[in-house]
């Protein structure tokens, strides 16, 4: 195994799921300029997540549409003619 390839500056960081507000703390080397006051009253760096185990359909068992960049709308407009031809009776 190669020596000295892993970062040494791990620190406690709070991760926040933006879809439901769930927060958890872990060690990370990820850079961020934002901070948050955690449950223990101390301030920690904040990493915002779009999805976590509390909101992911695989873990929750619920189908939830996650569309952060208009991907679904883009897909629908791209294939609108195809879907219209399938739904129209002949």
| Selection from 71, 75, 76 nearest residue 50 by Cα | 71
Read off the pTM.
Answer: 0.60
End-to-end CA distance of the chain: 65
Partner residues linked to 23 by β-bridges: 16
User: What integer is the mean pLDDT of 55-63?
Assistant: 66
Mean pLDDT of the region 10-25: 91
DSSP label of 19: T
pLDDT at 2: 87
H or E stretch at 74: helix 71-78
């Amino acid at each position: 195994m190669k020596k000295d390839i892993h970062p040494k500056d791990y620190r406690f960081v709070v991760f926040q799921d933006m879809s439901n507000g769930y927060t958890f703390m872990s060690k990370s080397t990820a850079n961020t300029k934002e901070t948050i006051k955690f449950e223990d009253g101390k301030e920690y760096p904040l990493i915002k997540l779009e999805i976590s185990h509390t909101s992911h359909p695989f873990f929750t068992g619920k189908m939830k549409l996650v569309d952060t960049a208009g991907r679904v709308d883009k897909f629908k407009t791209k294939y609108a003619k195809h879907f219209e031809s399938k739904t129209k009776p002949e």
